[in-house]
Structure 1
């Protein structure tokens, strides 16, 4: 079983999250750009995710809301800058903390043999913003969704016709 790697070097404004999936790159890209699929993996299991807007083209906007079991709502939004099967670049802003925008670059790398490495490179406006996100429990919040994405990719692979 693959592990999710999260790297946050002290004093730097970035976090790098990577994971190898036992799925081809086109399925990984689809899972990262299809609103129906994103709502199935993009949060910890106890949270319901609703994709309200997702225009996956340069200049297109996205907005996602999440609700926990107690009914608390969390909203996030951003703008796509680049969307190709190998790379997705967008901004990410948690609406409860306006003005703290990060730049996210996801690369989708074909490793051959039906395996894909996804690397999510997050660049924050400051080390303080990055550290604040880490202290909020982000590591746990990223590991769970990566597990859910791996499970979703397996079910999509099994449901797809043979290649």
Structure 2
């Protein structure tokens, strides 16, 4: 089983997420960028997702809403760099904290038939980063990565 590693070093405004998948970079990248596949895996177990906008091009935007027993959770951002099967640079914003925009760099590393995805997120402050962790983001990230494994297996 593939494990998701989430690292948030004390006193830094960064979160790093690393996960390996039993799929090629092209397969993982497609799952990460195809609007038809995104709702199948992005978000925690037990909720639903409404994908409002998802344009994975430089300058393209995304917006989606997760709904669960706690209510609605909206997210949005802008894609800045898009290198097919290699890298995505995007902003990430949670509607609950609209002033805390992070910059995320995702890399898709070819491991010879497997892929390592590394996400490096930079927050505007350590407090902002700590707030994201306190929000329960770890559960959402781990659930999403497990659900992505299921999508890639089909």
TM-score of the pair, normalised by structure 2: 0.96
Runs of 5+ in structure 2 lacking a partner? none
The RMSD of aligned alpha carbons is 1.0
- Deviation per CA, 1:60-114, whole angstroms, max 9, x where unpaired? 11101111146x11111111001112000100111121111000111001100x1
Output aligned runs, 1:73-152, within 5 Å.
73-84=72-83, 85-112=85-112, 114-152=113-151
Task: State whether structure 2 residue 28 is matched by structure 1 residue 28.
Answer: yes
Aligned residues: 153
Q: Where do 1:7-46 residues align within 5 Å?
A: 7-46=7-46
- Secondary structure at the residue paired with 1:36? coil
1:63 and 2:50 are equivalent in the alignment: no
- TM-score norm. by structure 1 comes to 0.91
Q: CA deviation at 1:153?
A: 0.6
Structure index of larger Rg: 1
Q: What stretches of structure 1 of length at least 5 have no aligned partner?
A: 156-163
Q: Partners in 1 of 2:146 and 2:128 — Cα distance?
A: 25
Structure 1 residues 20-39: Cα deviation after superposition (integer angstroms, max 9, x where no partner): 10001111000110111110
Whole-angstrom distance in 2 between the partners of 1:62 and 1:23: 25
Runs of 4+ with deviation above 2 angstroms: none
